[in-house]
Structure 1
Amino acid sequence: MPVRKTHLLLALVIFMVLIFSIQEAPFTSLRNKGYRGNESEDQGRNKEPYLGYKKEQEPYKPPYGGIRDKSSEEKPDIKAPGYDHDQVNQDDPQTPSTSAWRPNTSGQFDTLVVIPSDWTQIQNRKWVRETVFGIKDNLEPCQKNERGRILYKFFVHGQAVWKKTTQHSAEYMEGQVREFYGEMTEFDDIFFPNTTMNRASVWGEALDWAVNQFIPGEMIKVDKVVIFDSTAVVNMAKMEQAAKLAMPADDSGLIYTWGWSSASTSIHPKLLTTSQTRTTITNAAVIPFKTLQQILQNKVTIMKRRPTLDLISASARFYDAIGSIKVVMDQSEFWNSDIIHLESSALVVAPVHQSDDWFPISEKIGVKAAKELTYTPNPDRTHRVTVMTSSYIYAGMCMGAASLPVAKNKREYAARHGYDFVARAAEFAQEEFRGRREVWGKIGAIQKVLPHYEWVFWMDMDAVVVDMDKELKSLVQKAEMQRAALGGPLAKEEISLIVAKPTKDIMLNAGVMLIKNTDWSRKFFAEVQKRRYYYRLHPWYEQAAIWETMREPAWASGVHLFNGDEHTMNTFPDFYENGDFIVHFAPDGCPAPPVLEALQKLENGQSVLGVGYSDKKIAALHAAAN
């Protein structure tokens, strides 16, 4: 009897081992076959961060984030042959009116809005975008800062480093940096010199940058500049109206400010003269462009007299004294957390740091998003294309140094062809609370953005566009030609997903995908989300879930696989040849060094051949040379 029990127990153990082996069999040997898992989106999350991110080292100073898209706002049908996105049919009565959404290409704007903001004030910038400019998210960026008559830019100051402070741990500060870099990738509305400035100098530096760098660099003209802190809730429409009414008939100039007064009086602020009202801190101002140029020309003289004030406060007192420019110093409301007694006639309320306060204040003083900037949907919305990527930076900041330059690479490619550019981080961050690896956020991000476009071209953060002239419609045309050549029942089926499988890999690489907005693709990615087995299966995750799903007969009709194709749309460095479209760096460690090296070579007009070669490739080249 004991022997039989031993045999039964042994048999049970063997049976369980066999079951486990069957479940794991498809993937246990992938490493031995040279398959590169989905480490690319993991960004070497346990690897050393790259460049200047340790203790006392110089922090990385990112470049200006992106370029202005000067292409026509009407986006192309990705497959339309010979489409010219600069041609617009304005006379055909059958063509829907596009006047509400076509971008301003004249180069002339009424207003440039400059918003100084500390780099940590991410939420404040979000509130400003939503309440003042009507921008709730970046799902349809649509070049909002080019519409109508208004441009805006955040002038962000401070040094984005993570050192332990008296209030926060180093880990907390790193989280702030990661979120801030994601914001800069997602919204092309930030200028960030990454330098520490005091309150008195920030406004002067911001206005100097706007007048002497941004406006000339963009080759535009503006009539006036509005400036306010990101902690100020402003009714910009009424501010502009007040300034318009105060403008001298002889156009001699105007400085109109809103701030906190040091005057101790019971007289209503509207009745105070400039001699009675002395603004100690200016929260907002409206200044004609010619007046601002004059202020900046006399900046040294103005600030010498009042070095502790910001440039606009000092200028208001300077010109009020000499009388050559009209000065109006109005009062803003100091926010004391009492919404009931807040005057509904207030135009500026500051400082505000809580969302629970921001939106009630906005409603109380009648803030409305500028119609000249708020997006009006394209009536032909289905004919739109976006280049999409991740803006999520993993703990450790591996891709911190490369995130902005590589986003600029993708943004420039999109702008060249009239595509939108969308980057997302929120869907990756939420995976921490869903029991899955962060890389699964890629699927959620695609699902969220897909309904807004006809085609979505996904690229991992560490993928670099090399051939800027290649159009996405060429990928569709090649896929359709290959499918037609194969014949059979699938030849006439619509293609909704285009991916590539490297020759030596056992499955597709999901780092580059072209997805069409169809019922098939929406259902396909919903099905991928259900593959729980791969939620934390290192290192394949969502990539294996896509591979498993697309190989099932029920889904075969919608996928085209460039099988064993190293060059059409997704090329690893070891296989790169001059002329390839995209090089995808997916090393065992952090991808930032080869990504930055490749971007530098592209900027210098050099080939990226050899950048990011694996040790195996280098050894093979040495062996061949000998």
Structure 2
Amino acid sequence: MTFPITYLSYFRTSDYSLSNSAENYNFNNSLFSNNDNYVDSEDDINTSGHYKLLILITSKIEEYHHRRLLRRILFGIEDNLVPCMKYDTSIYYRFLIPPYNVNKKTYRSFVSESVEYNDIVEFQHLLHSNYTQETILDWTQSLKNSNISFDHAVLLDDYSIISLAKLKMALVSYNHSPTKLQNIVWSNFDDSSVDDMFVILGSKAISTILANKDLFYNTDNRNIATQAYFYNKNERQSLSNNWSDLFFVNDNKRFITFPSSLDYIPRDSTIAVRKLYSKHELLSVSKYLLISPVSACQQHIPSSIAIVTSSYFHDRLSNCTPPMLDVAYMTSENKRNYAQRHGYAFVPRSLEFQPYQSYNRKLKSRGRIEAVKKVLPHYEWVLWIDNDAIITNHEISIQNLFNRFYQLAISKKKKKHKASKTSAKNRTNENVSNTLNKRNDEKYYYDEGVSRPKKDTMLNAGVFLIRNSNWSFEFLKRVQTIKDMHNDKKTEQASMWKLLKKHPTLRDHTLLLRDDHIFNTFPDVWQKADFVLHYASDTCPAKFMLDYFKKNKD
């Protein structure tokens, strides 16, 4: 993309040089060249694991609304209906959560958010220690263990806003050598009272500062980059460990503290504004600076299949030990790993469950229908799986299930329509997905696959597969409007079953699986090769799920 000329108000002057010492520069436009032809080639899919920018945003656990707003402003993420499954552009971002001590309600909401967006790193292990800028820099060095590398790290908090487009353009138009750019330490160091997280560091600068941290531990400043800046400014002797390669830029023009009014913000030159304590200020400043989002992932070929689950973790009984929250990350990662392996989207949802929690705890499962209705328009097929179910065989793809359903469909329709054996043999499962979608052959056409375990008197909706079709949406709507659904003893699966029994024509679109091992298996009959292990009958399933995860690692 090409950025507006208003972003490019830089001037070309002579280069800077200092010999045999680290460099300190106050802001000067001449550090950056005028580059009217700058184009950010985000159309290229990045599979290297190396990123131009590593964006790290410190955020207190309770600041959910700020994180939600920053996802939208900075990265264009409105919700998780079409999630980022791979970071395949030039940026990689994470929200960093300092140690916390919060109530269960706040923690449950946080876990839901963390599971849904998969962009949060917790530092809870530092509960009785200090969380500082040095903590973050140490963490960046551990990314190499995940084969992640970067050119520059951008550290800020959730009370700040930054134009990533302007920043990337400024780094591209930088007048110095690439080596010097890798050693840059760039922030506004003028106001010592504003000793916050905000700083931009080259990847080599981080390792150099960490290697020399003992030199400046006695300085008054809290953050290590600020300590390094003032040490370098005042103590130019005894420099070692590549310190002379560092390049400090003190920039009080592009990186500013909110001056209380938009009128005092230079729109053309400002890259970042900090100390924005309200959502209104974040929104107002981002609009004033014309900040446009920079995508963290590509969506060139959206998945036709989504794995959907609940990210609202509750217990059927109030005294369950351990609670479902204790297995929240494990059961979610189990499904996310499966989705990533097969190229599917993974969409955990909590929003649709919360209204029903306040209305009546026993109606919590109604959220399944709302969640599926919300996600289904974005995909061809949705596999709903309860969060107390575990995918135990990751080798089985949804396409494999289609194959097995195809054989069952043939058998079922042969009996119903007395189809000849010759006709059945002439059919192939060359395209198993289309077999279930084929509109011109209703005998082999289904919109929903759901399990009815052999010992159960009705179906179990803890795992079901449903197609994006008019029939499916009408069916889900009718499930929600059944009068009995408002009885405390009824759930959406009871409503589904009632509909299918009352209206036989609906059964023509639904494949009821009486096999216990293909699709949705309960613990008493589960075998290792089965697709899903579902603890539907256990009032406190977390204990059994923990036991499974300890014994079996995906």
Same fold (TM over 0.5): yes
The alpha-carbon distance between structure 1 residues 250 and 152, as it changes in their structure 2 partners (threshold 3 A), is closer
> Does residue 288 of structure 2 align to residue 364 of structure 1?
yes
2:312 to 380, 392, 412: 392
Whether contact under 8 Å (1:114, 1:207) holds in the other structure is: no
Counterpart in the other structure of 1:108: 50
1:150 to 69, 74, 91: 91
Counterpart in the other structure of 1:315: 228
1:174-573 correspondence to structure 2 within 5 Å: 174-196=104-126, 201-211=131-141, 213-214=142-143, 216-245=144-173, 248-249=176-177, 251-252=179-180, 253-258=183-188, 261-262=190-191, 278=192, 280-302=194-216, 304-306=217-219, 308-321=221-234, 322=236, 324=244, 325-331=246-252, 332-335=255-258, 338-344=261-267, 345-371=269-295, 373=296, 375-378=298-301, 381=302, 384-394=304-314, 398-432=323-357, 437-486=363-412, 487=414, 488=416, 492-538=443-489, 540-551=490-501, 552-563=503-514, 565-573=515-523
How far off its partner does 1:230 sit? Answer: 1.7
Whether contact under 8 Å (1:248, 1:326) holds in the other structure is: no
How far off its partner does 1:307 sit? Answer: 5.9
The alpha-carbon distance between structure 1 residues 349 and 464, as it changes in their structure 2 partners (threshold 3 A), is same
What is the root-mean-square deviation of aligned Cα atoms in Å? 2.7
Provide the C-alpha distance between the structure 2 equivalents of 1:110 and 1:290, rounded to a whole number of angstroms.
Answer: 13
Provide the C-alpha distance between the structure 2 equivalents of 1:244 and 1:473, rounded to a whole number of angstroms.
Answer: 45
Counterpart in the other structure of 1:266: none
How far off its partner does 1:602 sit? Answer: 0.6
> Does residue 61 of structure 2 align to residue 119 of structure 1?
yes
The alpha-carbon distance between structure 1 residues 409 and 343, as it changes in their structure 2 partners (threshold 3 A), is same
Counterpart in the other structure of 2:32: none
How far off its partner does 1:190 sit? Answer: 1.2
1:549-571: CA deviations, max 9, x gaps?
Answer: 233223112110112x2111111
Provide the C-alpha distance between the structure 1 equivalents of 2:230 and 2:325, rounded to a whole number of angstroms.
Answer: 44
How far off its partner does 1:392 sit? Answer: 0.6
Whether contact under 8 Å (1:201, 1:310) holds in the other structure is: no
Whether contact under 8 Å (2:85, 2:340) holds in the other structure is: no
Size of the aligned set, in residue pairs, is 469
1:73-112 correspondence to structure 2 within 5 Å: 103-112=45-54
State the TM-score, normalizing by the size of structure 1.
Answer: 0.70
The alpha-carbon distance between structure 1 residues 327 and 428, as it changes in their structure 2 partners (threshold 3 A), is same
Provide the C-alpha distance between the structure 2 equivalents of 1:197 and 1:336, rounded to a whole number of angstroms.
Answer: 34
1:511-541: CA deviations, max 9, x gaps?
Answer: 1111111221122111111123213432x41
Whether contact under 8 Å (2:312, 2:349) holds in the other structure is: yes
Provide the C-alpha distance between the structure 2 equivalents of 1:599 and 1:247, rounded to a whole number of angstroms.
Answer: 53
Counterpart in the other structure of 2:23: none
3-state SS, counterpart of residue 529 of structure 1: helix
Provide the C-alpha distance between the structure 1 equivalents of 2:519 and 2:394, rounded to a whole number of angstroms.
Answer: 12
Whether contact under 8 Å (2:160, 2:276) holds in the other structure is: yes
1:273-317: CA deviations, max 9, x gaps?
Answer: xxxxx4641342221111112112223333x13264112221222
Identity of aligned residues (%): 27
3-state SS, counterpart of residue 539 of structure 2: coil
Q: Output the amino acid matched with 2:534.
A: H
3-state SS, counterpart of residue 568 of structure 1: coil
How far off its partner does 1:244 sit? Answer: 4.8
1:366-416: CA deviations, max 9, x gaps?
Answer: 211015x364453xx4x6111111001237693111111110111111111
The alpha-carbon distance between structure 1 residues 250 and 550, as it changes in their structure 2 partners (threshold 3 A), is closer
Whether contact under 8 Å (2:76, 2:293) holds in the other structure is: yes
Structure number with the bigger relative contact order (C-alpha 8 A, sep ≥ 6) is 1
User: After the TM superposition, which of the residue ranges 123-132 and 587-596 deviates more from structure 2?
Assistant: 587-596
Provide the C-alpha distance between the structure 2 equivalents of 1:411 and 1:577, rounded to a whole number of angstroms.
Answer: 22
How far off its partner does 1:597 sit? Answer: 0.9
State the TM-score, normalizing by the size of structure 2.
Answer: 0.78
The alpha-carbon distance between structure 1 residues 529 and 196, as it changes in their structure 2 partners (threshold 3 A), is same
The alpha-carbon distance between structure 1 residues 399 and 549, as it changes in their structure 2 partners (threshold 3 A), is same
- Runs of 4+ with >6 A deviation: 99-102, 197-200
Q: Output the amino acid matched with 2:305.
A: V
3-state SS, counterpart of residue 397 of structure 2: coil
3-state SS, counterpart of residue 80 of structure 2: coil
Provide the C-alpha distance between the structure 1 equivalents of 2:73 and 2:340, rounded to a whole number of angstroms.
Answer: 27
The alpha-carbon distance between structure 1 residues 442 and 347, as it changes in their structure 2 partners (threshold 3 A), is same
3-state SS, counterpart of residue 510 of structure 1: strand
How far off its partner does 1:342 sit? Answer: 4.3
User: After the TM superposition, which of the residue ranges 128-137 and 193-202 deviates more from structure 2?
Assistant: 193-202
How far off its partner does 1:103 sit? Answer: 4.1
3-state SS, counterpart of residue 549 of structure 2: helix
Whether contact under 8 Å (1:455, 1:515) holds in the other structure is: yes
User: After the TM superposition, which of the residue ranges 108-117 and 350-359 deviates more from structure 2?
Assistant: 350-359
